[in-house]
Structure 1
Amino acid sequence: MKKSLSLIITNIILFVLIGCSATPVIQDKINGVSFVSSRDTLVQSHIEPVLKIKASHAAIMPFAFVRDKNNPELIFNTERQWYGERYQGARQYIEALHTNKIKVMLKPHIWIWKGVFTGDMEMNTEEEWGIFEQSYETYILLYAALAEETNVEIFCIGTELYNFTNARKAFWEQLIKKVRGVYTGKLTYAENWDKVDKVTFWSQLDYIGADAYFPVSELETPAISDAKAGWEHHKQLLLLLSKKHNKPVLFTEFGYRSADYAGKEPWTSDRHEGKMNAKAQSNLYEAVFEEFWDEPWFAGGFVWKWFHNYERAALEENNRFTPQGKPAEEVLKKWYSRM
């Protein structure tokens, strides 16, 4: 009885808060894929499968690297990086996609050696913060200028950097202003699912960006209804966030592995052994689309992840994130074609 009363009170509070706030309305959804940066140039045969699923957008991700989460030396745009990870490759990818009328989100990423989570980055001294901030600003403004030169539709100012954004709020306020001075398109930032409601500068951007790896089911193979029920709490959080800032929510990343228990900890990306579970992946995809794609405050999203070599990705038996050659790809095509 106490739980029921608590739920009723919570729903009343949500209704009041939602009713008193503005609501953004999105007409055209962003139906995107996240292109994996590769060693190669992007050619037409790499783009045809994206056109086939009716995707409207693609995320292009130039990378910067640090040795560990406390190291202030940011390394980027070097010849030691793969072609798609650096400036020249990002430009070529953007131009090839635009030729095919596919819109682009340019989304810089930091990679920490050994796969340490970027949200844990935190410098040890004020001096180290200063060094890191200077290099990060140079990195972001380089790609903001590229985004402007190539008429990129969306620019993402960072990806999963909560400790950095939380500890250095003044830096991010001025960085956004500097990016606005260089780039005239739409801006977002991609925060991890568990910190998206804690970002302080959403009101200065055009989209609330969520890397949407929310846990939705502990079942080995969740039914669509199970996954939809698991979204209920998270969806209310995102709706309130949208209302609070009068900004649409964009899934800067979303997706699931084709593996058992894929909805339990969707962020898990380690190379564990195990059989494929394509049904779990496709059901989880369907639940996301049914829950969000008809919502007026929801802008769309970029599925994680899409490899340029479609034939190789589609033929490889794997339990990884890509939907290529799996039933989840048909779910994508169905929903992307609707829009």
Structure 2
Amino acid sequence: MKNMILLLFAFVLLASCDAQQSKINAVSFVAAGIEAAEEHVVAVKRINANYATVMPFGFIKDLETPEIMHNTDRQWFGETKAGIMQYARMLQKQNISVMVKPQIWIWRGEFTGYLKMDSEEKWKQLEDSYTAFILTYAEAAQEVNAEIFCIGTELEQFINHRPEYWSTLISEVKKVYKGKLTYAANWDEYKRVPFWKELDYIGVDAYFPISESKTPSVEEAKKGWQNWKKELFEVSTIHERPIVFTEYGYRSVDFAGKEPWKSDRSMPGINMEAQTNLTKALIEELYPESWFKGGFIWKWFIEHDKVGGAENNQFTPQNKPVEEELKRYFSLYSK
């Protein structure tokens, strides 16, 4: 018991020291069919971001198919190894640090958390294919000196059914990549991930339901965070790792805090105030916490002047009121 108390004290002290440092003030830099140019990354720098995610993609035919197609000439440039390396280097020229975050797209947008094989043979095939996919980008992350590498995104059933594989994969990744490691767990999955102590950060795609109001106030949204904050702190303490939001954000639409993960177009209307208030509440509640490392807002398209704006009700903060709020907060938490 005494050793446990000392260990907890040491973790809290370490986290407290880390709180005095700058947070990860970041965007999710969406892949495109073109190379990143200076003006694309200057727009990221302009909001005082100090990090960006680059996201290579692998593609699977359906939830029962074990083969992952990746790094092909049929993909957009920014989804490939050459593409994410070019993006990373352009970002680094603006002193923006990089996380490499490989992701899987299942045809018709099926949720990756449901990916599950129906035989041992297929599981082995999936493991071999996934290892090849991940090591391709772990090597790329090492080559560009990316600060963080994410070993997967929202793969709950894969982890539940093959936990030993994931520990082996982490060991393999560490042979080729020497930076910090995380995994992007869905908001309702992260408590059950078994390998957090083998990584550096607890990664959470933070689409927690916060408010059922059409246009929640900042104060209402803050109240909606209280139970989630307690849970996040407890998980951070148990595993002795800081939390990073590998994705977070809200659509500029009515009821944006009710089911923040929804990306379909069934939610009509435009509500900039809801997006702004929810984002402000998240930052004001989480960023001051010593156990919270920061986060990557979803999502940022590279051609800044052509996206977002007053008629857009999707996730991007670009050319919307919330962009100015991010610029202000990121400046505050970069000191």
- TM-score, with length taken from structure 1: 0.93
Task: Show the counterpart of 1:299.
Answer: 293
Q: Does 1:177 align with 2:177?
A: no
Q: Does 1:102 align with 2:96?
A: yes
For 1:158-192, what per-residue CA distance to the aligned partner results, in whole angstroms no more than 9, with x for missing partners? Answer: 00001001110110001001111111000000000
User: Could you tell me how far apart the structure 1 residues matched to 2:51 and 2:149 are?
Assistant: 12
Amino acid at match of 2:64: N
1:327 shift after superposition: 1.0
Task: Show the counterpart of 2:50.
Answer: 56
SS of the aligned residue for 1:137 comes to helix
SS of the aligned residue for 2:269 comes to coil
User: Could you tell me how far apart the structure 1 residues matched to 2:203 and 2:30 are?
Assistant: 19
Amino acid at match of 1:87: K
Task: Show the counterpart of 1:223.
Answer: 217
Task: Show the counterpart of 1:158.
Answer: 152
SS of the aligned residue for 2:78 comes to helix
User: Could you tell me how far apart the structure 1 residues matched to 2:250 and 2:113 are?
Assistant: 20
User: Is 2:254–2:267's contact at 8 Å kept on the other side of the alignment?
Assistant: no
Alignment of 1:83-162 (within 5 A): 83-162=77-156
User: Could you tell me how far apart the structure 2 residues matched to 1:288 and 1:273 are?
Assistant: 22
Pick one of 52, 64, 69 that aligns with 2:63.
69
For 1:188-243, what per-residue CA distance to the aligned partner results, in whole angstroms no more than 9, with x for missing partners? Answer: 00000001100000001000000000000000000011111111111111000110
SS of the aligned residue for 2:259 comes to coil
1:268 shift after superposition: 0.1
Task: Show the counterpart of 2:284.
Answer: 290
1:316 shift after superposition: 6.3
Amino acid at match of 1:322: T
1:20 shift after superposition: 7.2
Structure 1 pair 33–245 and aligned structure 2 pair: CA distance change class (3 A): same
Amino acid at match of 2:97: K
Aligned length: 323
SS of the aligned residue for 1:157 comes to strand
User: Could you tell me how far apart the structure 1 residues matched to 2:309 and 2:296 are?
Assistant: 22
1:22 shift after superposition: 3.2
Pick one of 11, 17, 24 that aligns with 1:22.
11
Deviates most, 23-32 or 109-118: 23-32
Structure 1 pair 217–186 and aligned structure 2 pair: CA distance change class (3 A): same
Q: CA RMSD for the aligned pairs?
A: 1.4
Q: Does 1:317 align with 2:311?
A: yes
Q: Which runs of 4+ in 1 moved over 3 A?
A: 18-22
User: Could you tell me how far apart the structure 2 residues matched to 1:315 and 1:258 are?
Assistant: 10
User: Could you tell me how far apart the structure 2 residues matched to 1:266 and 1:273 are?
Assistant: 11
Identity, in percent, stands at: 50
SS of the aligned residue for 1:289 comes to helix
1:103 shift after superposition: 0.2
Amino acid at match of 1:210: V
Pick one of 228, 232, 238 that aligns with 2:226.
232
User: Could you tell me how far apart the structure 2 residues matched to 1:123 and 1:169 are?
Assistant: 14
Amino acid at match of 1:294: P
Amino acid at match of 2:67: E
User: Could you tell me how far apart the structure 1 residues matched to 2:11 and 2:72 are?
Assistant: 45
Amino acid at match of 1:209: G
User: Could you tell me how far apart the structure 1 residues matched to 2:234 and 2:86 are?
Assistant: 39
- TM-score, with length taken from structure 2: 0.94
1:70 shift after superposition: 1.1
Q: Does 1:257 align with 2:248?
A: no
For 1:127-183, what per-residue CA distance to the aligned partner results, in whole angstroms no more than 9, with x for missing partners? Answer: 000001001001101110111111000000000001001110110001001111111
